[in-house]
C-alpha cells in the first residue's frame, strides 16, 4: 500500500500552548509540520510569520513545510529560509509570469531548500506543466486559502488525479500535497486520487480525541 504522510497545520492549534500542541502530532507520527503564513493581502486573513517559524526551528522531528499565502513572496524568501523552512511553497497566483515562477523556484533552490507551488481552487492545474520537472512539491488547495475549518471541494480531486498520472508517466519526483477540509472521509478521496501528503488542521487540533482522529485519516 502507498504510504501517506500527514502535515498537521497549526493554524487552528492553541497558540498559548503551541509546544504541547506540536508535540502531540509529533508523537502521533506526523512527518511534516504545515505552517500557514498569511499576509492579509494575498488572502483576506492574517496568521503568523517569521518569529513563529523561528521558534519551532530545529525543535521537532518534523519537516517544516511553509505555505506562503503572501503577495511578493520573493522579497521574503531569504528571511523564511533563515527562519528554518525546509520546504517553501508559494502561490502561482502571486506571480505575474512563468518567468517569475521559474526564477523563484531557482532562487529557493539556491539556498538548498525545497520549492513548492500551490494553486487556488479556481486555477487550472495545467498552468503548472512548465514547472513539473524541477519543482519538489505541488500543493493543491481543496478550499479557498485564508481560513481553516472549511469544506473540502471535490473539484480538487481531478487535479490530484492529473498530477498523479503525469508524475508516473513522466517518472517525475514532485510530491503531491492537498490542503483544506481533510477529515476521515475526504482523506480517503484525496489519497485515492493521488495525494501523498495530507494537510490537516482543525480535524486534528479541534478534535475531542486527536489520536483517534489521526488514526482515522488512514483506516479504510
Judged by CB under 6 A, the residue of 24, 201, 210, 217 near ligand DX5 is 201
Q: Does 11 bind ligand DX5 (CB under 6 A)?
A: yes
**Could you confirm whether 14 is annotated as catalytic?**
no
Q: Kindly state the helix (H) or strand (E) to which residue 210 belongs, with its residue range.
A: helix 210-216
For residues 182 and 203, the answer to whether their CB atoms sit within 8 Å is yes
Q: Which parts of 157-196 interact with ligand DX5 (CB under 6 A)?
A: 179-182
Of the listed 36, 39, 65, 136, which one is catalytic? 36
Task: Name the pairing type of β-strands 63-69 and 87-91.
Answer: parallel
Taking CB under 5 A as the criterion, the residue among 13, 30, 36, 105 binding Zn ion is 36
> What number of other Cβ atoms are within 10 A of residue 213's Cβ?
19
User: In the chain, what's the furthest Cα-to-Cα distance?
Assistant: 46
Among 146, 179, 200, 213, contact with Zn ion (rule: CB under 5 A): 179
CA distance 209 to 126: 39
Q: Which grid coordinates are listed for 26?
A: 509529533
Residue 67 in the binding site for ligand DX5 (CB under 6 A): yes
Which residues, including other chains, have CB under 8 Å from residue 178's CB and lie 6 or more apart?
139, 140, 142, 156, 160, 190, 195, 197, 198, 199
Examine the residue annotation and report whether 179 is marked as an active-site residue of this protein.
Answer: yes
| Per CB under 6 A, 146 contacts ligand DX5 | yes
Interaction of residue 202 with ligand DX5, rule CB under 6 A: yes
Among 6, 24, 32, 36, binds ligand DX5 (CB under 6 A): 36
Q: According to the binding rule CB under 5 A, does residue 67 interact with Zn ion? A: yes
Cell 519551532 sits on residue: 56
Summarize as ranges the residues that interact with ligand DX5 (CB under 6 A): 9, 11-12, 34, 36, 67, 143, 145-146, 148-150, 179-182, 199-203
Summarize as ranges the residues that interact with Zn ion (CB under 5 A): 36, 67, 179
The catalytic residues are: 36, 179
Amino acid at each position: 500500500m502507498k504510504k501517506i504522510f500527514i502535515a498537521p497545520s497549526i493554524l487552528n492549534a492553541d497558540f498559548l500552548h503551541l509546544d504541547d500542541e506540536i508535540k502531540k502530532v509529533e508523537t502521533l507520527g506526523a512527518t511534516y509540520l504545515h505552517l500557514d503564513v498569511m499576509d492579509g493581502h494575498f488572502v483576506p486573513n492574517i496568521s503568523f510569520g517569521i518569529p513563529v517559524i523561528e521558534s519551532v526551528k530545529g525543535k521537532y522531528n518534523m519537516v517544516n513545510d511553509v505555505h506562503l499565502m503572501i503577495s511578493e513572496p520573493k522579497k521574503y524568501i531569504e528571511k523564511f529560509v533563515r527562519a528554518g523552512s525546509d520546504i517553501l511553497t508559494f502561490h502561482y497566483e502571486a506571480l505575474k509570469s512563468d518567468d517569475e515562477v521559474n526564477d523563484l523556484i531557482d532562487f529557493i533552490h539556491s539556498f538548498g531548500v525545497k520549492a513548492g507551488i500551490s494553486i487556488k481552487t479556481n486555477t487550472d492545474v495545467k498552468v503548472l506543466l512548465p514547472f513539473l520537472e524541477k519543482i519538489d512539491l505541488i500543493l493543491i488547495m481543496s478550499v479557498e486559502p485564508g481560513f481553516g475549518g472549511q469544506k473540502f471541494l471535490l473539484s480538487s480531486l481531478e487535479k490530484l488525479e492529473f498530477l498523479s498520472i503525469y508524475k508516473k508517466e513522466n517518472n517525475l519526483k514532485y510530491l503531491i500535497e492537498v490542503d483544506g477540509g481533510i477529515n476521515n472521509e475526504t482523506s480517503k478521496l484525496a489519497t485515492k486520487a493521488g495525494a501523498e501528503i495530507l494537510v490537516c488542521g482543525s480535524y486534528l487540533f479541534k478534535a475531542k480525541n486527536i489520536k483517534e482522529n489521526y488514526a482515522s485519516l488512514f483506516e479504510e
